[in-house]
A and B are shown apart, each in its own frame.
Chain A
């Protein structure tokens, strides 16, 4: 591939999402969407993430439907290990009664893990396949077909997850402490004096807002960097052969760890939202 296009073009091609938008002439794709602004859709991110989400739900739902209290099958046993792992983490950090947090944590953990796992698919396979399909199926130039297969390297997705968690933080803060209690938490800490209200508010707002952004950027940054290094290794010609494997092995750790961190921090943030001072 590198023989036909320059390295920087190759990297850029790999880091560009397939975009869809509606223009005056109807639905348009990719470069035609450069001016679309906010109302553009990353179809590859959406398709892969939703597909993986459905895969997760389908796999776990199939176990849930056949769940037996007797001797579990192998798949049920595995699912139960995951459930138990998530449940233990939730119970360790969260001491309230809430039916949402555990399933939320499970969804985040498995879904993010599956999306991260796409990083281990060799970087060229799926984009190449998409290029061929675009070329032979729709008569497009393969270089104009974009396909970013790791949804967590798209800031839209990680930010969406983090904002979802953020809305839940706000919701539970207000639900548990009331509007007054939540306002008080934002304005009367850490300095409990009326004169410090603006200072407190600035500090607490930063603390509050830092949570979703750190969540989103941590996941995005880790996976984006990992993906970038895979792409860079792929540009090395023959040298990529010994390098891909160690990086992939190391990346297995990153994949699981980032999914776990996202889940864990979600639990911690939500348990903080439940705590009344």
Chain B
């Protein structure tokens, strides 16, 4: 139990062990622990952030959905309006077309009638001339009496 040179040997050994531990054992292990702690903290933070992001995204999606619904309703409304408008326009145009066709028809009929009238008048004139020839029992120079016939025709 006496104190001897062992003391010196142990002191040196102790110093060397502490030095080795300080240099090669402690720093890498503590660095690994701290690095992992940081990693875990980051991971937790990221998960928190993701959760918040998700909530936000959900909110946004709901908003977008609402907006889209409103927009769709608006579009449908507009389309309906437009359709009604189109139908109205078409109807009006149809009416106009009908009117036009009818007017045209009338005009054609009128023209036809005028033509027929003219024809009829001419025939009547010819008939009248023939009648007058027979009545007068004589040859009448058709050429000479043409002006009279013309007058007759115009009076018809």
**A residues adjacent to B (C-beta < 8 A):** 15, 17, 19, 36-42, 45-46, 49-50, 53, 56-57, 60-61, 63-65, 67-70, 72, 76, 79-80, 83-84, 87, 99-100, 102-104, 106-107, 111, 154-157, 159-161, 163-164
Q: Is the CB of A102 within 8 A of B26?
A: yes
A-B contact pairs, 20 of them (CB 8 A): A37-B4, A39-B4, A41-B9, A53-B17, A57-B17, A57-B21, A63-B29, A64-B26, A65-B28, A67-B28, A72-B32, A83-B29, A84-B33, A100-B18, A103-B25, A106-B26, A157-B10, A160-B8, A160-B11, A164-B14
Q: Is the CB of B11 within 8 A of A106?
A: no
Q: Is the CB of A60 within 8 A of B25?
A: yes
Q: Is the CB of B21 within 8 A of A164?
A: no
16 additional A-B residue pairs with CB within 8 Å, beyond A72-B36, A83-B26? A39-B4, A41-B6, A46-B6, A50-B13, A56-B17, A60-B25, A63-B29, A69-B35, A87-B30, A102-B30, A103-B22, A106-B26, A156-B7, A160-B8, A164-B11, A164-B14
Q: Which residues of the other chain, A, contact B35 by a CB distance below 8 angstroms? A: 69
Q: Which of B1, B3, B10, B25 makes the CB contact (< 8 A) with A161?
A: B10
Q: Complex formed: what's the CA distance from A100 to B1 in Å?
A: 31
Interface size class of B (residues with CB under 8 A): 20 to 34
Would A107 and B33 be within 8 Å (CB), given that A156-B3, A159-B7 are in contact? Answer: no
Q: Complex formed: what's the CA distance from A19 to B15 in Å?
A: 23
Q: Is the CB of B13 within 8 A of A36?
A: no
Q: Which residues of the other chain, B, contact A87 by a CB distance below 8 angstroms? A: 30
Q: Complex formed: what's the CA distance from A154 to B5 in Å?
A: 12
Q: Complex formed: what's the CA distance from A87 to B14 in Å?
A: 20
Q: Which residues of the other chain, B, contact A154 by a CB distance below 8 angstroms? A: 1, 6
Interface residues of B in 1-54 (CB under 8 A from A): 1, 3-11, 13-15, 17-18, 20-22, 24-26, 28-33, 35-36, 39
Q: Complex formed: what's the CA distance from A49 to B26 in Å?
A: 20
Q: Which residues of the other chain, B, contact A111 by a CB distance below 8 angstroms? A: 17
Among A61, A72, A103, find the residue whose CB has the most chain B CB atoms closer than 10 A.
A103
Q: Complex formed: what's the CA distance from A104 to B25 in Å?
A: 11
Would A69 and B17 be within 8 Å (CB), given that A41-B4, A46-B10 are in contact? Answer: no
Q: Which residues of the other chain, B, contact A40 by a CB distance below 8 angstroms? A: 4-6
Q: Which residues of the other chain, B, contact A63 by a CB distance below 8 angstroms? A: 29
Q: Is the CB of B25 within 8 A of A64?
A: yes
Smallest distance from the beta carbon of B5 to chain A beta carbons, Å? 5
Q: Is the CB of A79 within 8 A of B10?
A: no
Smallest distance from the beta carbon of A82 to chain B beta carbons, Å? 9
Q: Which residues of the other chain, A, contact B4 by a CB distance below 8 angstroms? A: 19, 36-42, 156
**B residues adjacent to A (C-beta < 8 A):** 1, 3-11, 13-15, 17-18, 20-22, 24-26, 28-33, 35-36, 39
Among A53, A56, A84, find the residue whose CB has the most chain B CB atoms closer than 10 A.
A53
Would A107 and B3 be within 8 Å (CB), given that A60-B25, A102-B26 are in contact? Answer: no
Q: Which residue from chain B places its CB closest to the CB of A68 in the assembled complex?
A: B32
Main secondary structure of the interface of B (DSSP, over half): helix
Smallest distance from the beta carbon of B9 to chain A beta carbons, Å? 5
Q: Is the CB of B17 within 8 A of A42?
A: no
Would A107 and B17 be within 8 Å (CB), given that A45-B10, A100-B22, A155-B3 are in contact? Answer: yes
Q: Complex formed: what's the CA distance from A65 to B29 in Å?
A: 8
Q: Is the CB of B25 within 8 A of A57?
A: yes
Q: Which residues of the other chain, B, contact A161 by a CB distance below 8 angstroms? A: 10, 14
Among A69, A87, A159, find the residue whose CB has the most chain B CB atoms closer than 10 A.
A69
Q: Which residues of the other chain, A, contact B10 by a CB distance below 8 angstroms? A: 45-46, 49, 156-157, 160-161
Q: Complex formed: what's the CA distance from A164 to B26 in Å?
A: 19
Smallest distance from the beta carbon of A222 to chain B beta carbons, Å? 15
Q: Is the CB of B6 within 8 A of A42?
A: yes
